[in-house]
């Protein structure tokens, strides 16, 4: 399948219209094939304090787009025979052996728990079938945080990981803090901080020089602000920043990066694990990232319980999907044009991407705004897909 002629002009029109309508404060969109970048553009503002325009080299908080990178790093450990996907992890990370399953709350609001029916494995963590949830979409997790005075996950403090499971591992799909625990597993296996492992084994080999937990001065100078909407619909810049001296480097949400860097990661997936300097992941492990690993456990829409941070989430509305070792995997074609078998995920500040192995392309649509999954930002992601695959937008 070839990309539709004129898609570049259509993406340009979609981006410009979204900024003009204040759907987003600013946006970078970029498309790649297996060989290199075939389109990139930036529109709108990186910050309204200044102000500064958004540029293709702007640094953004990629938030949960961190998760697939951490999943790939964990699969490098599998490739090297350090750990197996179905190996119980308690011997490697003793804290995972202490995790219990939430059964309810007593009359004083204290969480009640029991031992899990089976051991947690890397398979459970990578596919989000572990039982861990998120405070953004689970009232029970939110209630546990309140009862135990736990910090929020955005604080990057170890106490945020002390939540019980919502169900036995392998029972269903639930989006949550599994990737933060995957980062802890990597640290235990490697004996290194997560950031060092990522740089030496994934980011540097893929030439992703502008992706990091800690912002260098040159990255800080290009950093786009996270924005919130004013009452009149305009945008204001905030000072939201991932802690730069965290208790732990958050494998679920902690990275900053650029559009160009993330396309390098997408190209690695399109090239069966090969980067510009050679293979970083085996074709077999890439295959587990491309194909559903959850069987009959479908990805379900998530209802927000913290609307100021995140709206209800249905990344590809109406499209059945499962989860691989790192990505949402579509089980049917989408109305926006994505073929079945496409891969996708997103980040809290309304950053989005997809990988289309059938066509051999990947793309990112990066803004910096809250709440996550705001219908106007999510609609922009879908309109960019339509510009790439479908008829010219009006």
Q: Which residues are designated catalytic?
A: 64, 67, 175
Q: What angle do CA 194, 252, 23 make, to 5 degrees?
A: 135
Longest dimension (CA), the chain: 64
Q: Name 240's Cβ contacts closer than 8 Å, sequence gap at least 6.
A: 61, 225, 226, 370
- Within 8 A by CB and 6+ apart from 298, the residues are 173, 320, 321, 322
> What is the residue-wise DSSP string for 108-176?
T--EEEE--SS--BHHHHHHT-SS---TTT-HHHHHHHHHHTPPPGGG--GGGG-PPBSS-TTSS---S
3-state secondary structure 257-302: ECHHHHHHHHHHHHCCCEECCEECCCHHHHHHHHCCCCCCCCCCCE
**Residue holding tokens 């293709």?**
56
With CA atoms as reference, report the closest residue to 374 among 318, 320, 330, 313: 313
**d(C-alpha 158, C-alpha 256), whole Å:** 20
Q: Give yes or no for a contact between 183 and 251, defined as CB atoms under 8 angstroms apart.
A: yes
**Can you say whether residue 382 is alpha, beta or left, with left for phi > 0 and alpha for psi between -120 and 50 degrees?**
alpha
């Amino acid at each position: 399948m070839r990309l539709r002629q004129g898609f570049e002009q259509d993406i340009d029109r979609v981006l410009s219209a979204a900024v003009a309508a204040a759907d987003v404060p600013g946006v970078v969109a970029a498309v790649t094939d297996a060989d290199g970048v075939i389109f990139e553009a930036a529109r709108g503002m990186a910050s309204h304090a200044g102000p500064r325009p958004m540029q293709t080299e702007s640094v953004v908080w990629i938030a949960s787009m961190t998760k697939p990178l951490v999943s790939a790093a964990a699969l490098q450990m599998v490739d090297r025979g350090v750990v197996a996907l179905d190996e119980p992890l308690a011997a490697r990370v003793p804290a995972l052996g202490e995790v219990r399953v939430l059964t309810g709350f007593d009359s004083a609001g204290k969480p009640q728990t029991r031992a899990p029916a089976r051991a947690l494995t890397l398979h459970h963590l990578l596919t989000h079938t572990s039982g861990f949830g998120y405070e953004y979409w689970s009232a029970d997790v939110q209630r546990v945080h309140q009862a135990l005075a736990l910090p929020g996950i955005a604080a990057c403090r170890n106490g945020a990981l002390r939540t019980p499971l919502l169900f036995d591992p392998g029972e269903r799909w639930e989006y949550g803090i599994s990737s933060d625990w995957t980062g802890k597993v990597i640290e235990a296996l490697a004996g290194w901080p997560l950031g060092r492992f990522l740089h030496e084994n994934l980011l540097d080999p893929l030439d992703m020089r502008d992706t990091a937990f800690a912002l260098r001065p040159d990255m800080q100078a290009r950093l786009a602000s996270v924005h919130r909407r004013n009452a009149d619909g305009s945008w204001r810049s905030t000072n939201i920043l991932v802690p730069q001296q965290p208790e732990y480097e958050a494998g679920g949400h902690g990275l900053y990066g650029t559009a160009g860097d993330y396309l390098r990661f997408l190209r690695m997936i399109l090239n069966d694990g090969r980067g510009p300097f050679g293979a970083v992941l085996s074709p077999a492990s890439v295959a587990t990232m491309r194909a559903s690993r959850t069987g009959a456990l479908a990805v379900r829409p998530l209802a927000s319980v913290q609307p100021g941070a995140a709206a209800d989430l249905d990344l590809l509305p109406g499209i059945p999907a499962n989860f691989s070792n790192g990505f949402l995997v579509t089980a049917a074609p989408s109305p926006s044009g994505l073929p079945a078998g496409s891969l996708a995920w997103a980040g809290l500040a309304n950053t989005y991407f997809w990988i289309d192995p059938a066509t051999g392309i990947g793309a990112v649509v990066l803004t910096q705004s809250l709440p996550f999954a705001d219908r106007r930002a999510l609609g922009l992601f879908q309109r960019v897909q339509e510009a790439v695959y479908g008829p010219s937008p009006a």
